[in-house]
Amino acid sequence: MKSNQVHRLHRRRRGRAAGSGVLIILVFVAASFLRLQIFSGEQYALRSSENRLRTITVPAPRGTIYDRYGRAIADNVPGYDVSLLPGPPDSISTGLERLASRLELSAGRREELLARNRARPNESLVVRENASFEQVAFIEERRPQFRRVVVDQRPRRRYPAGPAVAHMVGYIGGISEEELARPEYAGYETGQSLGKTGLEAQYENRLAGSNGIRYVEVNARGTIVGDLGVGPGRASVPGEDLHLGIDLDLQAFADSTFPAGMRGGVVALDPATGEVIVLYSHPTFDPNDFIGGIPLDLWDALREHPDKPMLNRVSMASYPPGSTWKLVMSAVGMKTADLTIDTYHTHTCAGGLAYGNRYFRCWSAGHGRLDLSEAIKHSCNVWFYQAGQRIGLDPLLEEVGEFGFDGPSGIDIPFEIGGQFPGSRQWYDQQYGPGGWFESEIMNLSIGQGANAQSLLTMAQFYSALATGRAPVHPHLVRDETLAERRVDWRLDLPEVQRHQLVDALVRVVNEPGGTAYGSRLSRWTLAGKTGTAQNPHGEPHSWFVGFAPAYAPRIVVAAIVEHGHPDNAPSLAVPLASRIVDRHLATIGLPPEATPGVRPVEGAPAEGGG
């Protein structure tokens, strides 16, 4: 009897224990259910969506670049990009192999893409930018073979004028790993394009816009099964448009008239605003070739070409300024050595001048006795040798430094090198050692040779100051009120009567018989300017011209150089190039012809003439 009671007691205890266990399990299951369905539901739903959806970047159209008359210099047209969705490395490799023949992916290019994928495995891999319609059609017709491939219609950059605008506008290219690591490119993705040179690089933050996002739906194998569009993502924001002072037709004119087979460049400015009207370098290249990735053989050909077509000879090259420098010497002499427009020197020009144990030659067999105005007109070296002696080396080095010739002009494109001019005797000591140079350096500096190299921009800037009597505006390509107010911190500081006398002398250079630019005078307006023949150790002299027009109410300042463009007994090639550009610009803006070109207007009469 007692044993039955004990047995029943044990069974009840076991039953209660089992019931408690079941209750604990039920409570645990309920808690887990609540955690999964209520507290963690959104998290798992998000994870499910992440597994189901893939993000695709929607590139923003770059801003359009317009010339001064509203014509497109750089715009966008529809294009196609081919990408692979993120996935296992073997799937990416297989996808690249399948695409290789049709998209022209070399073994080296596939290796580069695989390395990019390993560095950023969670991003879509852009395989080919700017794919052709035939390449896209090939993929779409065989969609089952390319289930991880995304074809997107994206804006493609276009440069309608091609080579004529290359150095000014620059080009775009795919972002590099080094660039991706830089803070200014935070938010950029592998395969995205950005400006590399020119305006495209200078104004990248304004032109680029903001990329958007769209989603595609994939299955467990990563195959695309649907396109959800931009709806749940975000739309792209187009980049800002830029409006330039460039005249696209005049830019193309410079391209078509630049001396064939020669190297050099030309720049033209509005002296009142600093706006660049023309910026052209020759030889050139086609920036359209860089869109979607430039072929390696073409890139190597451009980089290794002996004429260096990628070099912007307006902003990234400097040359001895030759006789264009004589106006700098004239201004310095008037300020520091009491030179006047009527000054004669002791020695007449008989073809050269002895100094120390050397004989410094003039380009002519002899100009005879000249004053400053005639010396400018005939470009007499002997007169300016004596002007340099009268000024002295130390005052010359100090005063030239006041005119901004030892630095860049401040133009709004990257990589400008600016001018180079010794700042003091210490510069010579550092270059050649104490006692390793001679006072005769003053002779070379006086005619724009020696340790003096200037860019087209620095010379145009000085002649702008001479043309207007004001501190010149920093040259700029983009039309902007803020940029138009950025004047340099120097000015000529010559009395107006002396400045006008120098302008009159420049008028004689172009408009009087015997002037070195007489053959390129204009029939409707007075062009003032100075020729230059710059010696160099690598061949024939360079041909320079810097000038402005109309001389007494300037609307354009032009500087041109043709490398090796002035052989002995041959005409200068830079002068007619610059003259034609000036004439075309003044006609384009509708400026009335002058009543008597080449003659100073009567006081009070309209500077541009009587029409």
What pLDDT does 378 receive? 97
List, for residues 529-587, the tens digit of each pLDDT value: 999 999 888 889 999 999 999 999 999 999 999 999 998 878 899 999 999 999 999 99
Q: Comparing 119-133, 495-509, 519-533, which segment has the lowest mean pLDDT?
A: 119-133
More confident site: 412 or 210: 412
How sure is the predictor about 7, in pLDDT bands with cuts at 50, 70 and 90? low
pLDDT value at 223 more than 80:
no
How distant, in Å, are the alpha carbons of 179, 186, 389, 413 from that of 182? 5, 7, 52, 20
Q: Comparing 145-149, 476-480, 527-531, which segment has the lowest mean pLDDT?
A: 145-149
pLDDT value at 231 more than 70:
no
Look up residue 283 and give its DSSP letter. S
pLDDT value at 20 more than 70:
no
Q: How far apart are CA 99 and CA 145, in angstroms?
A: 10
Please report how the helices 425-432 and 393-401 are oriented relative to each other, as an axis angle in degrees rounded to 10: 100
More confident site: 88 or 10: 88
Q: Is 91 exposed, middle or buried (0-12, 13-18, 19+ CB in 10 A)?
A: middle
In this prediction the pTM is 0.84
Mean pLDDT within 129-158: 84
How distant, in Å, are the alpha carbons of 195, 532, 556 from that of 560? 27, 10, 13
CATH number, span 55-110+120-133+146-243: 3.90.1310.10
CB-facing half-sphere around the CA of 81: CA atoms within 13 A: 25
Q: How far apart are CA 352 and CA 361, in angstroms?
A: 4
pLDDT value at 413 more than 80:
yes
List, for residues 369-383, the tens digit of each pLDDT value: 999 999 999 999 999
Are 550 and 272 in contact by the 8 Å Cβ rule? The answer is no
What pLDDT does 30 receive? 64
pLDDT value at 94 more than 90:
no
What pLDDT does 10 receive? 65
88 preceded by a cis bond (ω within 30 of 0): no
List, for residues 292-314, the tens digit of each pLDDT value: 788 889 999 999 999 999 999 99
What pLDDT does 584 receive? 98
pLDDT value at 340 more than 80:
yes
pLDDT value at 519 more than 50:
yes
Are 198 and 168 in contact by the 8 Å Cβ rule? The answer is yes
More confident site: 372 or 47: 372
List, for residues 311-328, the tens digit of each pLDDT value: 999 999 999 999 999 999
Distance of alpha carbon 177 from its chain centroid, rounded? 22
How sure is the predictor about 47, in pLDDT bands with cuts at 50, 70 and 90? very low
pLDDT value at 39 more than 70:
no
Region at 490 (left for phi over 0; alpha for psi -120 to 50; beta for the rest): beta
Distance of alpha carbon 1 from its chain centroid, rounded? 109
Greatest CA span in the chain, whole angstroms? Answer: 154
How sure is the predictor about 48, in pLDDT bands with cuts at 50, 70 and 90? very low
Q: How far apart are CA 9 and CA 457, in angstroms?
A: 108
More confident site: 212 or 444: 444
Q: How far apart are CA 131 and CA 81, in angstroms?
A: 6
CATH number, span 248-588: 3.40.710.10
What pLDDT does 524 receive? 97
What pLDDT does 608 receive? 43
Q: How far apart are CA 584 and CA 266, in angstroms?
A: 14
What pLDDT does 45 receive? 46
Q: Is 302 exposed, middle or buried (0-12, 13-18, 19+ CB in 10 A)?
A: middle
Mean pLDDT within 68-85: 91
Mean pLDDT within 17-31: 67
pLDDT value at 391 more than 60:
yes
How sure is the predictor about 29, in pLDDT bands with cuts at 50, 70 and 90? low
User: Which span out of 211-215, 489-493, 554-558 was modeled with the highest average pLDDT?
Assistant: 554-558
User: Which span out of 177-186, 281-290, 429-438, 592-601 was modeled with the highest average pLDDT?
Assistant: 281-290
How sure is the predictor about 234, in pLDDT bands with cuts at 50, 70 and 90? confident
Which percentage of the chain shows pLDDT scores above 70? 87
Mean pLDDT within 361-368: 94
pLDDT value at 84 more than 50:
yes
What pLDDT does 146 receive? 82
More confident site: 116 or 279: 279
User: Which span out of 208-217, 524-533, 568-577, 594-603 was modeled with the highest average pLDDT?
Assistant: 524-533
**Every domain of the chain and the residues it spans:** 55-110+120-133+146-243, 248-588
Q: Is 11 exposed, middle or buried (0-12, 13-18, 19+ CB in 10 A)?
A: exposed
Mean pLDDT within 58-71: 94
More confident site: 20 or 611: 20
Q: How far apart are CA 506 and CA 522, in angstroms?
A: 14
pLDDT value at 22 more than 80:
no
pLDDT value at 3 more than 80:
no
The per-residue pLDDT of the chain, averaged, comes to 88
How sure is the predictor about 126, in pLDDT bands with cuts at 50, 70 and 90? confident
pLDDT value at 229 more than 60:
no
